[in-house]
Amino acid sequence: MKKVVSIMLMVMSLVAICSVAFADTYVRPHVRRDGSFVQGHYRSDRDNNPWNNWSHRGNVNPHTGQRGNRW
């Protein structure tokens, strides 16, 4: 029984790690219409759920280490 529980915990943690690893999108550098330049950067995938975006309070951007500050 303990072996089954430990295997389940390992699988659940692996799934959680993989879901975080693939939850970002690279935005290429570009020039806006007003002429300002935007550096290339990563952003969290769009999924209409504000609670799991890096900018939401309580989350941390894994690429920059910045903490979210939006409610």
Q: Where are the domains of the chain?
A: 2-52
Confidence (pLDDT) at 32:
95
Question: For 59, which DSSP code?
Answer: -
Tens digit of pLDDT per residue, the chain (71 long)?
677 767 766 766 655 554 444 567 889 999 999 999 999 988 777 777 766 677 777 777 777 787 877 77
Six-digit token string for 67: 């903490």
Asked whether 12 and 18 are in contact (CB, 8 A), the reply is no
Confidence (pLDDT) at 11:
67
Confidence (pLDDT) at 13:
64
Longest Cα–Cα distance of the chain, Å, equals 63
Can you say how many angstroms the Cα of residue 41 is from the centroid of all Cα atoms in its chain? 12
Taking CA atoms, 50 is separated from 11, 41, 43, 54, in Å, by 26, 19, 13, 9
Confidence (pLDDT) at 16:
54
